[in-house]
């Protein structure tokens, strides 16, 4: 019997702890498929961050390091600078990357650090049970904005791709979405391109993946996917923000 | 021994690190240790290494964590307020058992404090400035020659035990110039690092460098492993100097810069017929209990002198354990103990415990 579809080799054969309807599983798979297709798992070092994906080393089969909250880009810098032949990626959520780790991500990008960042934006802190993230949309209810995010009180959401694209350092920045098959296929191309940029030694690459958090959004998995399309994409437009014409 | 050079303390640390095979340095500027960064910035690119000025102390220690995870010899340096910022990273390095060398050229605190020399980070260095049950090896040089030798040693210790080895100096040691005599060949210990995350090359199981263990039973076991390791270090790695101790009746306990002052006190006291010895801990953790056992029989009393409010004093009290009276003299905020003040205390203690004792 011919195998026509299977788990990527770069993902371990184990069940994930993520909630039903969470898109972390899809994002993990896209990263693993890229590692498989580029045949780089053996020389890859992944950096797990703090958040729901803190133990992604239980799922990814490559060598992994668990970083302190927000510090993954600095840890990745240390790995890449000491072992330039390794492929190095970080996998970070929006609290990790855009709040506590803002300095680390901006400076890794500004240095043009030759690493790949997979940035999961679901507009909320998942693991700690649904607090406001830097990416939380105005009027969004969270456990720390029980009356909705109000600009006067909580400020405005941060558009990470747009902000980083103002820097000279980054080679490639794209925002993609995981809300339907068509967009997942585009997201896959973006993730793979990001790794190819690193392999070509072009410098810093980041892919933001608009993702769900049904548990903390209080929505069903299907409603959650619809929320990405109806509420998130209008504020977080999809597309390439840096390196559109970069050939790798 | 080989080449002799007149060097500033901070530069001797940097040169020692390079000689010890450390070609990766991540740091952030802060007085009075920035010459280490200057030296590294100049020398490392030419040696095929990496000097990177990080955006913060927090980032620098995490770069160290990343490079150390690949098994690379790596160092960062800072001074007190910067070392406070690194505490998160030091706790992770301890938990994940990643070797690294960290230099603290101490200045007066708390807060932003000043830029003059102090020993007020003893607690932070020896008792765990970060969270969790952990230790780091703390080496306290008292000359530029020792800054060189102990820095080389720090890299061996860090690799041998997969942990942080810290050089605890002070602003005087970092800035002073002395002759350093370099060895022709450094005693570099080369350890296999099968745990390093460098890519499994499709040839072995995945390596994971981590400090998170959500199962309390697993986390307790991990902690027990750390404690077992620390116990071995306590047995094997205590270092100290005993000076003028064979016929001494009073003992000064001091480390680093203050130990140098103590030696001149000992000479002054000799001229007055007072026999004073010196216990100089070289490892502050592990604290050299053995040194006290050697001298306790002849010691009538101890005088601990520090550039702090009395931090090492607590370990001295534990080591002496009530068997003798322990006196203390300290200066704070960047002020250095003055010879006449210490000498006055030595005379008083002599009168009380030896002459009339």
Contact pairs from chain A to chain B, CB under 8 Å: 134
How high is the pLDDT of residue B356? 84
Domain containing residue B172: CATH number: 3.40.50.970
Q: Which residues of B touch A75 (CB under 8 A)?
A: 62-63, 65-66, 69
**HEC states along A56-119?**
HHHCECCEEEECCCCCHHHHHHHHHHHCCCCEEEEEEEHHHHHHHCHHHHHHHHHCCCCCEEEE
Do B299 and B324 fall into the same domain? yes
Q: Which H or E run contains A44?
A: strand A44-48
Total domains in the fold of chain A: 1
Rounded distance, CA B31 to CA B106, Å?
A: 9
Q: Are strands A239-242 and A172-177 parallel, antiparallel or unpaired?
A: antiparallel
CA distance A114 to chain B (A): 14
3-state DSSP assignment of residue B272: coil
Domain containing residue B307: CATH number: 3.40.50.920
Closest Cα in chain A to B24: A82
Q: Is A13 among the domain residues?
A: no
Total domains in the fold of chain B: 2
Angle at A66 between CA A61 and CA A69, to 5 degrees: 140
Q: Is A102 among the domain residues?
A: yes
CB of B142 within 8 Å of a chain A CB? The answer is no
Pick B201's closest partner by Cβ from A42, A79, A103: A42
A50: pLDDT strictly greater than 70: yes
C-alpha distance from residue B47 to each of A76, B6, B234 (Å): 22, 22, 36
Q: Which two tokens stand for residue A181?
A: 């098959």
Whether ipTM exceeds 0.90: yes
Give residue-wise pLDDT tens across range B262-282: 999 999 999 999 999 999 999
How high is the pLDDT of residue A1? 81
Domain limits for position B289: 241-355
Per-residue pLDDT of chain B (357 residues; tens, 9 = 90+): 689 999 999 999 999 999 999 999 999 999 999 999 999 999 999 999 999 999 999 999 999 999 999 999 999 999 999 999 999 999 999 999 999 999 999 999 999 999 999 999 999 999 989 999 999 999 999 999 999 999 999 999 999 999 999 999 999 999 999 999 999 999 999 999 999 999 999 999 999 999 999 999 999 999 999 999 999 999 999 999 999 999 999 999 999 999 999 999 999 999 999 999 999 999 999 999 999 999 999 999 999 999 999 999 999 999 999 999 999 999 999 999 999 999 999 999 999 999 887
Q: Are strands A116-121 and A87-93 parallel, antiparallel or unpaired?
A: parallel
Q: Is A15 among the domain residues?
A: no
Domain C-terminal end among B175, B201, B236? B236
Give residue-wise pLDDT tens across range A180-209: 999 999 999 999 999 999 999 999 999 999
Q: Which two tokens stand for residue B23?
A: 């070609």
Do B139 and B124 fall into the same domain? yes
Angle at B78 between CA B74 and CA B79, to 5 degrees: 155
The mean pLDDT value for A29-56 works out to 96
Q: Which H or E run contains B25?
A: strand B24-27
Do B229 and B258 fall into the same domain? no
- CA nearest B305: which of B162, B119, B56? B119
Q: Is A94 among the domain residues?
A: yes
3-state DSSP assignment of residue B117: strand
Q: Detail the DSSP E strand segments found in A138-217.
A: 172-177, 205-210
Q: Is A16 among the domain residues?
A: no
């Amino acid at each position: 019997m011919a195998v026509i579809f299977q788990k990527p080799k770069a993902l371990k054969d184990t069940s994930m702890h993520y909630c039903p309807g969470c898109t972390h599983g899809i994002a993990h798979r896209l990263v693993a498929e890229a590692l498989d297709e580029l045949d780089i798992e053996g020389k890859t070092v992944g950096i797990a961050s703090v958040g729901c994906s803190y133990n992604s080393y239980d799922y990814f089969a490559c060598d992994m390091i668990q970083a302190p909250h927000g510090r993954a880009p600095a840890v990745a810098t240390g790995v890449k600078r000491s072992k330039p032949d390794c492929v190095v990626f970080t996998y970070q959520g929006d609290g990790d990357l855009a709040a506590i780790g803002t300095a680390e991500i901006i400076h890794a990008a500004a240095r043009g650090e030759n690493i790949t960042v997979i940035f999961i934006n679901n507009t909320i802190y998942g693991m700690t049970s649904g607090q406001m993230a830097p990416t939380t949309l105005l009027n969004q209810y969270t456990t720390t904005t029980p009356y909705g995010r109000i600009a006067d009180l909580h400020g405005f959401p941060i558009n990470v791709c747009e902000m980083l694209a103002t820097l000279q350092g980054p080679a490639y920045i794209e925002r993609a979405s995981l809300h339907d098959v068509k967009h997942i296929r585009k997201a896959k191309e973006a993730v793979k391109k990001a790794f190819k940029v690193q392999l070509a030694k072009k410098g810093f690459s980041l892919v933001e993946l608009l993702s769900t958090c049904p548990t903390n959004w209080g929505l069903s998995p299907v409603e959650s996917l619809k929320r990405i399309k109806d509420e998130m994409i209008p504020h977080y437009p999809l597309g390439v923000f840096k390196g559109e014409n970069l050939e790798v | 021994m080989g080449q002799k050079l007149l060097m500033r303390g901070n530069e001797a640390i940097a040169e020692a690190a390079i000689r010890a095979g450390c070609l990766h340095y991540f740091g952030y500027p802060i007085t009075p240790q920035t010459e280490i960064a200057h030296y590294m910035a100049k020398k490392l690119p030419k040696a095929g290494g990496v000097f990177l000025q990080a955006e913060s102390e927090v980032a620098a220690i995490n770069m160290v964590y990343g490079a150390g995870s690949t098994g690379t010899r790596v160092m960062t340096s800072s001074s007190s307020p910067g070392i406070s910022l690194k505490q998160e990273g030091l706790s992770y390095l301890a938990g994940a058992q990643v070797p690294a060398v960290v230099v603290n050229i101490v200045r007066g605190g708390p807060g932003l404090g000043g830029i003059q020399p102090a020993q007020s980070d003893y607690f932070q260095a020896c008792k765990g400035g970060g969270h969790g049950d952990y230790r780091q090896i703390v080496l306290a040089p008292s000359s530029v020659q020792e800054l060189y030798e102990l820095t080389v040693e720090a890299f061996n210790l860090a690799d041998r035990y997969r942990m942080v080895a810290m050089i605890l100096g002070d602003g005087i040691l970092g800035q002073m110039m002395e002759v350093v005599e370099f060895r022709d060949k450094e005693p570099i210990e080369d350890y296999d690092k099968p745990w390093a995350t460098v890519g499994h090359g499709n040839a072995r199981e995945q390596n994971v460098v981590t400090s998170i263990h959500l199962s309390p039973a697993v986390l307790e076991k991990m902690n027990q492993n750390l404690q077992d390791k620390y116990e071995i270090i306590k047995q094997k790695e205590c270092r100290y100097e005993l000076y003028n101790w064979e016929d001494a009746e009073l003992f000064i306990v001091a480390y680093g810069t203050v130990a140098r002052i103590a030696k001149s006190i000992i000479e002054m006291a000799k001229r007055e017929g007072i026999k004073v010895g010196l216990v100089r801990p070289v490892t502050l953790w592990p604290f050299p209990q053995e040194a006290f056992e050697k001298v306790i029989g002849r010691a009538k009393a101890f005088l601990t002198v520090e550039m702090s409010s009395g931090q090492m004093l607590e370990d001295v009290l534990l080591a002496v354990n009530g068997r003798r009276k322990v006196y203390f003299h300290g200066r704070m905020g960047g002020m250095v103990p003055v010879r006449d003040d210490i000498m006055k205390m030595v005379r008083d203690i002599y009168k009380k415990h030896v002459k009339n004792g």
